[in-house]
Structure 1
């Protein structure tokens, strides 16, 4: 009996590895499209399940927050699947806490409250959940022998979202083999694109993981992988369901897999950055990616939910850019930066990060940049206020464009030509002080 239990546990953890791989697959083949006949969503002839996949940044002193949030939708009848990435800054109604960023739901009430918040946004029930401890990602990548990633541009800055203020992201463009430490730098890097670019890199990273996991050389590493995954993954899925998904993986690939992001636009309110979702668009997208159409009742419910959401938006909320349709592909500017001519401010997207500890500094700097014509893609607060100097990180071709700022700063190279990051330090002085 004891031997059977050990065998059962081993099968379950191997199944969990397969589920992680499936999650990877769902995020990798966004470019493979195949038209299917449209069906009414909710058609009883189609068995559709939704799985919430969360990457959680767990900590010693609290439960942590969901750093990555995705929903895998699987039409078992049509043997088709799709993946929807939800930006962590998405502003949603969280039961008992009003409106807040969706990644805060996990801190308030664990995966149950996260699930309820996701269901309220998408209008569909979550049938299962998978939670992955992001602090274990580095060890898991090392266990599979690392990954090969073609870094699309120069990436450099001290990560302002790192709890300890010590993660320095320093990557050069080009094909390279990465261990867990380097791979995490690639996944965590954020620039003027904000969550849009970050999600695109996450999907690229997933594809690299899949390529590595499916090689024959992975077999000797299975014991180490089982050990790492068993301590990093939590799910309510049964072994039967895990293995069933694994068997369907090749069929999903053949029938086409979609990967999209919640449509919406960036905004900020009182120095806090948000992603404002388009509720009718995201619900229509969720259905259409599986070749389905919303029923009239579902369309009406979506419109009512959007009307209420829009009515509850703060009056002084500032929208920052045009609405996106949900795509997360890396742009040509990300892939290659061969033009040496400086760009115009209106062609450069800037992420503003307030790491100064000074309330309102982010909004003030964003307003100054907007007056100069720059596009503000987001305004956020860094997790540390230990940054002594205000820095602007952009490509070599655009360093001159940022001279003459109305605040003291150091301008340095890093990133692609159409983006920049302004990280406000303690040397910043607010107007009138």
Structure 2
């Protein structure tokens, strides 16, 4: 009996740490949490549908890069990811940085030629996307995490039942199945997902990426201010269904502890391609793309990761 109880404690801590990783994804969208204690037993192992094929180095003791993906249909053949982010963690400085990659960047995908970045996930899941990011931007990815947007909506409503306050610059309705009025609004999970996924932005897809980063920061603030763990068992059961990751327990607990104790400070963000490093182009059979200067973006990425260590 003692052996069984120890197992329950261990998995409780693992899922607690993964809870905010699911919230972090926003479409996405990416934060971690560390909670000690015993929660009710989880009846199924954490899902790792893509873990066997993912080739990122898992046991690095240096800086850690986690590929964060948001998808409507995790695990389905041909599915595309609606958001692509990389969460960067430095264990020496305890800092977390967030890199948003525009899905329409025109890049070289191994064995598939020039395509939009998010096509890599459709062709070969997180592993091919990892290879593509490494080939084009020189960034090593060590782990991945995928969250189905249904899980994001349900988790937000449980975690923040009164919603998140945002400033909506103009009416948003097309393509999101709802109407979000201009002005200061308190958005629930479904509305928040519509807010970050709205594509008919006056700033094109760049506005959508800005909103994703905004919501990530606000959700982190809400999550680390929790004074009660009463809802955690239900949230953990929920996210065990909707999150797929290969992140090992020590990494989750280390990052989660720093975030919960606010050692990480504010999340620094970067969007690629950087301003002035791309042109809008249209190619037959592919559509509108961002033709990027890869060398300039490699430089901007390296500078961002080195700033303040």
TM-score range, shorter chain: 0.7 to 0.9
Written as runs of structure 1 = structure 2, the 5 A alignment for 1:153-232 is 153-159=169-175, 167-190=176-199, 191-216=201-226, 219-232=229-242
Larger Rg: 1
- Describe how 1:249-398 pairs up with structure 2 within 5 A: 249=259, 250-253=262-265, 257-262=267-272, 263=274, 264-270=278-284, 272-291=287-306
| 2:101 aligned to which of 86, 89, 97 | 86
User: Cα gap change, 1:282/1:81 in structure 2, threshold over 3 Å: closer, same or farther?
Assistant: farther
Deviation at 1:140, TM superposition (A): 1.4
Can you list the C-alpha shifts for 1:175-199, whole angstroms capped at 9, x where unaligned? 3322222111111112131221001
Change in CA separation of 1:260 and 1:292 when aligned onto 2, cut-off 3 Å = closer
TM-score for both structures, normalised by structure 1: 0.56
What is the match of residue 80 of structure 2? 65
Alignment counterpart, residue 122 of structure 1, candidates 111, 126, 137: 137
CA deviation map 1:344-366 (0-9, x unaligned): xxxxxxxxxxxxxxxxxxxxxxx
Aligned partner (choices 128, 145, 148) of residue 133 of structure 1: 148
Per the alignment, residue 49 of structure 2 pairs with none
Q: Distance in 2 between matches of 1:228 and 1:5?
A: 20
| Contact residue 144 and residue 218 of structure 1 kept, 8 A | no
CA contact (8 A) 2:30 2:216 kept: yes
Q: What stretches of structure 1 move > 4 A for 4+ residues in a row?
A: 20-24
Pair 1:212–1:73, CA change in 2 (3 A): closer
Residues 148 and 242 in structure 2, CA contact (< 8 A), matched pair in contact too: yes
Structure with the larger RCO, 1 or 2 (CA within 8 Å, 6+ apart): 2
How far has the Cα of 1:49 moved from its partner? 2.4
CA RMSD of aligned residues (A): 2.7
In structure 1, list runs of 5 or more residues that go unmatched: 29-45, 160-166, 294-433
TM-score by length of structure 2 reads: 0.77
User: In the alignment, is the contact (CA less than 8 A) between 1:153 and 1:173 conserved in 2?
Assistant: yes
- Secondary structure at 1:126 match in 2: coil
2:202 & 2:305 partners in 1: Cα distance? 31
Distance (Å, rounded) in 1 between the aligned partners of 2:217 and 2:270: 15
Q: Do the aligned partners of residues 248 and 278 (structure 1) sit closer, same or farther apart at CA in structure 2, a change above 3 Å counting?
A: farther
CA gap of 1:220–1:63, structure 2 versus 1, over 3 A, is farther
Does the Cα contact within 8 Å between 1:23 and 1:72 map onto a contact in 2?
no
Q: How many residues align?
A: 266
CA distance in structure 2 between the partners assigned to 1:221 and 1:84 by the alignment: 30
Q: What is the alpha-carbon distance in structure 2 between the residues aligned to residue 214 and residue 74 of structure 1? A: 17
The alignment status of 1:48 with 2:59, answered yes or no, reads no
Confirm or deny: 8 A CA contact 1:56 1:66 kept in the other structure. Answer: yes
**Equivalent residue for 1:387?**
none
Q: What's the offset of the Cα at 1:290?
A: 2.8
* Maintained 8 Å contact 2:148/2:243: yes
8 Å contact from structure 1 (residues 81, 290) kept in 2: no
Decide whether aligned partners of structure 1 residues 228 and 173 sit closer, same or farther in structure 2, where only a CA change above 3 A counts: same
